[in-house]
Amino acid sequence: LQGFAAPSSDKLLPDLIPQEQHVYTIVLDLNETLVFSEWKRERGWGTFKRPGVEAFLEKLAHYYEIVVYSDQLSFYVDPILERLDQKGCIRYRLARDATNYLDGKHFRDLSKLNRDPKKIMYISGHALDTCLQPENAVPIKPWKLESDDTALLDLLPFLEFVARQRPPDVRTVLESYKGRDIATEFRERAKQNQRFESWISI
């Protein structure tokens, strides 16, 4: 079939051990999500870390199984993650051979992860355009070297909340934020909740 290629395996990740069956999985895109790569004639390719990325990974690793799922080739992905993740927060790396190729684009197929879809969130600067399961998507602003970017750290309170609450299906939670910036909306909801709690305690 022209314009189609399936992932390299129907089971991209090994089974969770019994003690980790409760753990939720964060799937992270790489380009314009954790890093930005660009080519310049005078120095060739350069890759830059998004502000706050190391603190973001370190914090998430306390709560989640972290998987990086890129549409780039392994020889590009691996050296970047070796430098980026020196504390070993990322448990698994998936590259282009694990994507689903459809009509000229490489899509992440979360159904092949060997994980409960009710416990997966996919974070990307292009989340709705690069994943076959948009109901699991957590869109954030694509990063293109803005030095004042705080998107990863802004998202942490929401992700910590989900990890602590352990909702039966994260897709239901994400649906309630559809069309909104999740970090901003979560902050507003938290403020409203605090105001309500203050009011009923008077």
Contacts of 169 (CB under 8 A, 6+ apart): 118
**Does residue 186 sit in helix, strand or coil?**
helix
Q: What is the mean pLDDT of residues 109-116?
A: 97
The two three-digit tokens of residue 69, written as one number: 């799922």
CA–CA separation, 80 and 78 (whole Å): 5
| Residues with Cβ within 8 Å of residue 60, at least 6 apart in sequence | 26, 66, 89, 156, 159
- pLDDT: which is higher, 107 or 17: 107
> Structure tokens of 176?
């309630």
Distance between CA atoms of residues 39 and 145, nearest Å: 13
pLDDT on residue 5:
62
- pLDDT computed for residue 187 by the predictor: 96
Do the Cβ atoms of 137 and 131 come closer than 8 Å?
A: yes
Instruction: Assess whether pLDDT exceeds 60 at residue 201.
Output: no
- The DSSP code for 108 is B
Q: Are 40 and 81 in contact (CB under 8 A)?
A: no
What is the band of 38 on the pLDDT scale with cuts at 50, 70, 90? confident
Q: Give the mean pLDDT of 144-169.
A: 97
Across the chain, the runs of DSSP E, i.e. the strands, are 4-5, 24-28, 35-40, 44-49, 64-69, 92-94, 100-102, 105-107, 120-124, 137-139
CB 140 within 8 A of CB 53: no
Tell me the C-alpha distance between 22 and 40, whole Å.
Answer: 45
Question: For the chain, what is the mean pLDDT?
Answer: 92
pLDDT at 95 over 70: yes
Instruction: Tell me the whole-structure pTM to 2 decimals.
Output: 0.91
In this prediction, residue 21 carries a pLDDT of 84
Q: Which domains does the chain have, with CATH numbers?
A: 4-200 (3.40.50.1000)
